[in-house]
Amino acid sequence: MNWNKAKEDAEMQIERASFSTLFLAAIFTGMMATTPAAAGSAPAVTGKVTLQGLPMKAKPINMSSEPGCAKLYSTPPTTEDVEVGPGGGIKNVVVYVSAGAPEQSGPPAQPISVEQKGCRFTPHIVVMQANQELRVVNEDATTHNIHPLPSVNREWNKAQPPGTPPIEETFAREEFISVKCNIHSWMHSYFVVLKTPYYSVSDENGTFKFENLPPGKYTVTAWHEVYGKQTQEVTVSGDEMQPLSFVFKAK
Ligand SMILES: [Cu+2]
């Protein structure tokens, strides 16, 4: 047997073996790269909402008509309709998938809560899904009233004396609903009813984040109670995603 021939054969076998290992490794890596995305591990949708121009200043709230409320504060609290951080970030913008999201089988089982606390609605912007239970609680020693003013949902208007059980309600249709307390004129909030579970409310820096949106093309809307609405077309893929940017102009 030719020694050199034997050596060549052996080397070729090693090469073939390495090639198959590499080939299998490539297939396996390919599976690894695509499988998690298919299982819903697409990147989170993140971004920031900022204001261009000077924001309206928050105003102190005068609660003197209800001493039980006024005495809760050493300095008066301020209005929450426009809150802009030092970097121009707008708080309380609802950012959500307004088109393209997969159909939902039903609302989440857990309720969304809103408190009447310190004679204010907390949180100021309450987001829920259509038909998800909303639970309104009065934490104050004062009687409040809660009066949502919808146009496509059913209107209701309920008093809530201290220590009474939570009010439980649902809204069937997507809507941005202005809410007031008929007893205290300064009490105001919004109930935001969405069809999608993919949403986020921006924090004091204007940043938002929602997760688990499967890869695809979507319309993302940003809504603010004073600055209005903006939309963007967005593609979510298995790769990393650039943060979104929404810019509203000061009024
Ligand atoms: Cu009230």
122-135: pLDDT as tens digits:
999 999 999 999 99
Query: Would you state the pLDDT for residue 102?
Result: 84
At 225, which CATH number?
Answer: 2.60.40.420
Q: Is there a single domain that holds both residue 27 and residue 56?
A: no
**pLDDT score recorded for residue 53:** 94
Determine the pLDDT at residue 42.
78
* pLDDT tens per residue, range 62-77: 999 999 999 999 999 9
Task: State the distance from the centre of ligand 1 to the C-alpha of 184, rounded, in angstroms.
Answer: 5
The answer on 75 and 196 residing in a single domain is yes
Q: Domain range for residue 11? A: 1-39
- HEC string of the chain? CCHHHHHHHHHHHHHHHHHHHHHHHHHHHHHHHHHHHHCCCCCCEEEEEEEECCCCCCCECCCCCCHHHHCCCCCCCECCCCCECCCCEECCCEEEEEECCCCCCCCCCCCEEEEEECCEEECCEEEEECCCCEEEEECCCCCEEEEEECCCCCCCCEEECCCCCCEEECCCCCEEEEEECCCCCCCEEEEEEECCCCEEECCCCCEEEECCCCCEEEEEEEEECCCEEEEEEEEECCCCCCCEEEEEECC
Residues 25 and 95 occupy one common structural domain: no
> Do 104 and 218 lie in a common domain?
yes
101 and 13 inside one domain? no
Q: Are residues 243 and 162 in the same domain?
A: yes
Please tell me the distance between residue 214's alpha carbon and the centre of ligand 1 in angstroms.
Answer: 41
pLDDT for the residue 18: 46
34 and 110 inside one domain? no
pLDDT tens for each residue of 134-155: 999 999 999 999 999 999 999 9
Q: How many domains does the chain have?
A: 2
> How far does residue 75's CA lie from ligand 1's centre (Å)?
19
pLDDT of residue 105: 84
Measured distance CA(206)–CA(234) in Å, rounded: 19
Going from the Cα of 79 to the center of ligand 1, the distance in angstroms, rounded, reads 15
Same domain, 5 and 89: no
CA-closest candidate to residue 50, choices 241, 250, 247, 251: 247
How close is the Cα of 122 to the center of ligand 1, in Å?
A: 12
Distance 250 CA to ligand 1 centre (A): 30
Q: What is the pLDDT of residue 104?
A: 82
CA 136 to ligand 1 centroid distance, Å? 12
Cα(185) to ligand 1 centroid in Å equals: 8
What is the residue type of 73?
Answer: Y
Looking at residue 23, its pLDDT comes to 42
pLDDT tens string, the chain, 251 residues long: the values are 445 554 555 455 544 444 444 444 443 333 333 333 344 467 899 999 999 999 989 999 999 999 999 999 999 999 999 999 989 999 999 999 999 998 888 999 999 999 999 999 999 999 999 999 999 999 999 999 999 999 999 999 999 999 999 999 999 999 999 999 999 999 999 999 999 999 999 999 999 999 999 999 999 999 999 999 999 999 998 878 899 999 999 98
Verify that 30 and 140 share a domain, yes or no. Answer: no
Q: What is the predicted pLDDT for the residue at 139?
A: 97
CA of residue 232 to ligand 1 center, whole Å: 37
